[in-house]
Each structure stands twice: as structure tokens, then as C-alpha cells.
Chains A and B, each alone.
Chain A
Amino acid sequence: MPNIIVCVKQSYDVQQLRYDKVSKQFLLAEAPKKMSDTDRRAVEEALRIREKYGGKVIILTVGNQDSIDAIRQAYAMGADEGYAIIDKDYENFDTNNVAMILAQAIRKMGNFDLVLCGAESTDGYSRQVPVKVAVYLGLPFINFVRELRLEGNYVIATSDYEDGLYIYRVKMPAIVAVTLDINEPRTPTPSAILRASRKPITQWTLKDIGVDGVKVHFKVLNTYVPEVRRKRIILDASTDDKIVNAVQKLIDALRQERII
């Protein structure tokens, strides 16, 4: 009956992110947010483990008030408990800060067998937090997991690296970061969503978990949309005649570009 803590992040929904056409700056204030794609798979995986082996699925997030929504979403999927560490300076936190806060909270929560994280967040994509949580907690860590099962007190996890799949066996408690490929997360039904909104969420401040303050290690000077300078010449190849023409035009162009 494993207790699983799943660390989630409420991210900007990059698919719906808009930017100012003149300043090339992102319009973050109006941007919709959603739970990170890989984190949602971590929640799904935890729920599947619970369905098989029993236990509890506990959601943990650090963020601003918006991050409550990630817990509500996990509740709608079926998670049992949710903890949010809320801080108004969250937007300035770096990956060391976030990982340290998560580790502190996990220590405070205690009584866990497995910590699941998404290997990367949808918006930040740094892939830094899970391994840092493991370093701070001093627990074994397995990255890029696309298949997971339990065997007694052990986790059997398939790590997806560039050169191959590594199947590891590690004793719990352990930290595991999952990839997008591990599962297809469920989409909650209306009744599950309605039930979730009535479920309580535990909110903690940094002080509650014994963190006095954070030291920031890096800063972002500017984030912008790089210019796309492309010719965008579109050739119609919908009929056989047009294919001949389009292919000829492409070859002529590649010659002019000195590619061939």
C-alpha cells in the first residue's frame, strides 16, 4: 500500500500563449495555465499504481494562488490529498529554490514510499527540479521513466535514454521522473470535476515548512519571440502537372540557394 507523493506544477499553456506582435513580448498576464503535461502523467501513473496496489496519491505543488488549480485538476482525476505551498514571490524562484521547497515539504509530510515528478515542465522545460529534489532528500533517483511497476518494496522503472532503454530496480523510497510516453492521462468527467471542487486543499507558507527565505541563483533578463524570417513560398502540388511544376521550382530554388 504505497503512499505516493506527486509533485506538480501549474504551467503556462504554451499552446495558447500569445505575444505582442510589436514588442515580441509574451502576454503572460492573460495566458491560460494548466498542469504540466508530464506532471499530469505522473498523477495518472500514481493513480494506476493505487488502482493496482492500493495506497494513497498525494499531490504537492509550489506556486502562487493559480497552482491550487493543478491540485483541483489532480483531485478531479482521483487524487486523495493535496498540499500547496503558496508564496507571492514564486515567479522569481529558480529551480534550486523550488526543489528545496518541495524537498522540505516532503520531509514535513513524511510517510511516503515514492515521489513521482514529470521529467520536465511544459513551460520551463529545464528538467532540473526532479533530480534536485532527490539530491536534497538524499534519495535514489531514476529519470526519464516510460514504464513503471512495483515489486514488493522495489520500483522497476524503464528509463528512456538516447542509446537505449535501461530497466532499473531500486528500493523505495525513491524519486522517479516520468516522460510523456508513460501513459495517456484520463480526462475527468463532469461529476468528478464537481466532486473535486468540494475537496479541501492544505495550504502552507514557506514558514510552515521551515524555510526562512530563498536565495535566487539566476535571473531572466528578457524573454521574447525570435523573429521568423522565412520566404514562405508555397507551391501547389495537388495534381500530377502541378507536382512536376512544384518540384522543378523547388530544385531551381535550391540551386539558387547553392544547396545543390
Chain B
Amino acid sequence: MDMVTILSYSERIDLQLELATLANEITNKLSGNSISAVIGYGIKDKVDVLSKNFDKVFVIDSEDLKLFNPITYANVLLNIVNNTKPDIILISDTKRGGAIASALSALLDTGCITEVTKVELVNDDLVIYRGAYGGLGLAQTKILTSPKIIAVKPGSYPRPTAIKNGIIEEMKVDIKKPEIELVEFRAKETGARLNESDVVVVAGRGVKKKDDLQMLEDLAKILGGVVGCSRPLSADLGWCPTWVGMSGVTIKPKLYIGVGVSGQIQHIAGIRDSKIIVAINIDPNAPIFEYVDYGIIGDLYKVVPKLIDELKKIKG
């Protein structure tokens, strides 16, 4: 490939920046253009930061995009694809992004890989890594058609330092609104951005009441971190807006502390790249102990307060 064109899209500006890092990595080696697509409603004021990280930013801002639907969004994105003829399309693999990438792949009749955690350039070709078999494995894959659509898990790449001075171009396109009506929206509490913190304390089923999360908040605060939940606490009990693990958030903090987390493989898949993994669990047989650097077998309601006390002594 000489002179590649890479088009990046995410519904979130911060995740666009993660994609910019990957795009830069590729264009630094192969030379080419890194383009950003921003689509939605009421978003055009927020794109300045992208021009510092991409060569060009296309903006489609329309009230017709107020109601999200992956197929509508993919069709809108198709306009920018037709305009820019990218070789590679990077989309952040959020719930919305993954579906847009998939729909776009069907519209373009080209290959798409989701759940991507790493992309490598080998002999001018992309080797794409994604989780496999419920997070137990890693798959090395290759897309055989063009453009290659790659949906990258949030948190897989850091943010770049601004180096570009790109141009912003607004586009007007015809939008076919979906025949879907939004009846009601119930916002979730916006939780901490788990994949941006150096320290993440995750509550598992061993935590008995929602109020007990405060204890974990205290621990996280001393360590300068945030608190997240495992899947059952989020999906079943609704204590957190999202969870750590497959189909939730993938994190790779410097320190992960699982408190009362048993460690299902889908959870492990979401924390595997953490630098240090610590677990506190009363059950010596909790599978998480197979994946830890440090494991404490004991009652979290006794261990965590003690840990907080001792850390307070050190940190004053």
C-alpha cells in the first residue's frame, strides 16, 4: 500500500482521538491521509480538537440524525466513504460503533472485524487482533477486501498529542430517516470513564449492597482511581451504567483491584492487559485467583477497611 487513506469515526470525540493514534501509527509508516468523520445532531461545535489530530474532518450535522439507528448512520457515513475512498475505516467498537461498522460492511460488501484490540503492520499489510471464544483467546485476522473496516475496542489506544492542523468541512447529505420512533429515553447515571483511569477498583457479586460501593469509592479515591462493576452488578442489579468485561468496557489500568469478583472468563477478557491485577475474595476457589498478581483470600468487609486505613497512614 502506498499512500493510504484512513477514515475514522466514533460517536464520541474522545474515542476518535484513540483512533487518531492508530491512524497516525499507520500513516507514519505508509504515508497517507487521516480523515475523521463526525456525524450526529448538534455536534459541530465540538470538532475543533479533531482538526488538531486529523488531516481533514468531515462533519454531517443534521436534526435527522437525532434518533440513532446504526443503518441510518452507516448510510450517512457511506457518503463520506464515497467522497474520500478510504483504504481503511476505523470505528470505535462501542455498542453504536460496532453496529455501524457492521452495517457499513454489508453496504460496501467488504470485510469488517469487531472487538479489535491491536492492529499491526506486517509487510505493508494489516494484521488485526481480536478477542476470540468469549475472550479466552486472541485471533490474528486479515481483511481480504477493500476498504478494510476495523472496529477498535475503546481503551485499546492512548490519546495522541495534537500534531496536525486539519481542515474541517461540513457536508450536507440526504438522510432517509428510519421508520422507528423513540417513545422514551431513560438516562443511566454516567459512571466514571473506566478506561481512562490508572487505578480501577471493580465490585463483584461479593459486594452485598449498593451502599457498600462507597467503601470501594473510598479505596479508589485514596489510590486516585475510579470504581466499576462486574456484569451481574450492572446488568442484573443496575448498580453501574456499564460493566468491565466482554460486551462491556475493556480496561488496562496500572492497577486493577477486583473486590468480591469471582472472575468469569468474560470478565478476565476485559482486564487482561492491566499492569497489576489484585483480587480480594473470600472464596479461595474463585477463578480470578488464577489471573492475579496478588490475591487476598479473605472477607472483603474486613480486608478493604484495613487496606483503606493502612493506605491513609501512608498517604496522610
Contacts and interface: CB of A to CB of B under 8 A. Distances in A.
A and B: interacting chains: yes
Interface string B102-125: 110111011111110000000000
A180 B235 contact: yes
A132 B297 CA distance: 46
Contacts of B236: 181
A67 interface: no
B292 A232 contact: yes
Contact of A128 (B96, B102, B145): B102
B99 A127 contact: yes
B13 interface: no
A226 B188 contact: no
Interface string A174-213: 0000011100000000000000000000000000000000
B139 A222 contact: yes
State the majority secondary structure of interface residues on A.
Answer: mixed
Contacts of A10: none
B181 A170 contact: yes
B127 A14 contact: no
Contact of A218 (B143, B185, B235, B290): B143
Contacts of B107: 135
Interface size band for A: 35 or more
Interface residues of B, number: 87
B296 A250 contact: yes
B165 interface: no
B206 interface: no
B50 to A, nearest CB: 21
A65 to B, nearest CB: 21
Contacts of B247: 120, 125
A129 B127 CA distance: 22
Given A141-B71, A247-B303, A223 B137 contact: yes
A39 B94 CA distance: 21
Interface stretch (B29-37, B55-63, B79-87, B306-314): B306-314
Contacts of B74: 135
Contacts of B137: 19, 26, 223-226
Interface string A20-64: 000000100000000000000000000000000000000000000
B180 interface: yes
Interface of A: 12, 14-15, 17, 19, 26, 94-96, 99, 120, 122-123, 125-129, 131-132, 134-136, 140-144, 156, 161-171, 179-181, 216-226, 228, 230-238, 240, 242-244, 246-251, 253-254, 257, 259-260
Q: Which 8 A-B pairs have the closest CB atoms?
A: A237-B298, A217-B111, A14-B134, A218-B111, A128-B102, A135-B106, A164-B187, A167-B184
Given A135-B71, A218-B142, 6 more contacts: A134-B103, A165-B185, A169-B180, A171-B179, A234-B295, A251-B311
